[in-house]
Chains A and B, each alone.
Chain A
C-alpha cells in the first residue's frame, strides 16, 4: 500500500540520476554500507541452517522429503565412487573365495 506521504517532498535534486552504487555519492549511504556491510554479519555458511531447513521440510512433508541419510548428509562422496568401491570389494571377494581363489 502506498503511503500518500511517500509521493511528496522529494526534491528533484536529491533523487539519484544514475543507478550506480549509492555509497559512491552519498556520505550517509557510505556510512550505512560500512556499518551494516561488515563481514561479521552472517559470515560463512552455517551447517545448522541447512540441517534446520531439512528438518522443517521433513516435518511439514511428513517424511516425504529429506527422510534418508543420503539427502541430508553433508558428505561430498558421490554415488558413483561408492558404487565403484563396492564393485572392487565384490571382485576381490569373488577371487578370494571363488573357484580361482586360494585352495
Chain B
C-alpha cells in the first residue's frame, strides 16, 4: 500500500505562508492517520491524541524547513515517530514510578489474589477467541523494544516500503530489515506462548 495521499504543492505553499485555514485543513486530513499510528506505538489512544497535537504544533513550527526531498507524509511520520520516542521514554519512567506505588498498594490490599500472568485476559467479555487473540497481540507488541516496535508497525500495519521506513527512522536498510525480522520473531514467540499453539 502506498503512503496516504500527499497534500498538493499549493496547500504546502499556503502552510509555509502561515495560512491558518490551510493548517486546519491539514490537521483534519491527517489527524486520523497520525492518531492511529501513535496509538499503535504508545498503546493508549488518549496519550496518542495528546501526542498528535504536539506533532501538528511541530509541523506548524517547522513547515518552512520541509524541502520536498521526501513525501510530505513521510516527513510528517518522521516527526511523529521522533516525538513518540521521547514520549515513550517519559512514559516508561513515569510508569515505573507509578508501578512501584501500585505494587505496594496491591500487595497490601490483594495479597496473592492476582491472576496468573497479571494481564487480565480471563475476563468473561474477552473470552471470544478472536478478540482474545487480538488482545494478546496488542499486549505483546507493547512489550517489544520501542525501536523494534516502531519498525514493525510502520512495515506490517502501516504497510510502508522499506525506503520510506528508512527515511522516517533514519536507520540504514539492513538495520530496518533486521529489526522487522527480529521483532516479528519475538512477537510470534510471545503470542504463541500466550496462546499455547503455533501461528499458521
Contact = CB atoms under 8 A, between A and B. Distances in A.
B152 interface: yes
Interface of B: 1, 18, 20-21, 24, 27-28, 31-32, 35-36, 38-40, 45, 48-50, 52-54, 56-57, 60-61, 133-134, 137-138, 141, 147, 152-153, 155-157, 159, 161-162, 171-172, 174-175, 177-179, 181-182, 184, 187-188, 191, 199-200
Given A10-B178, A31-B133, A56-B53, A36 B40 contact: yes
23 contacts: A2-B175, A6-B178, A7-B174, A8-B178, A9-B182, A10-B178, A10-B181, A14-B181, A22-B156, A26-B156, A26-B184, A31-B199, A32-B137, A32-B141, A32-B157, A35-B141, A36-B157, A41-B39, A42-B49, A49-B52, A52-B50, A71-B21, A71-B24
A56 B175 contact: no
A9 B184 CA distance: 13
Contacts, number: 129
A36 B138 contact: yes
B115 to A, nearest CB: 22
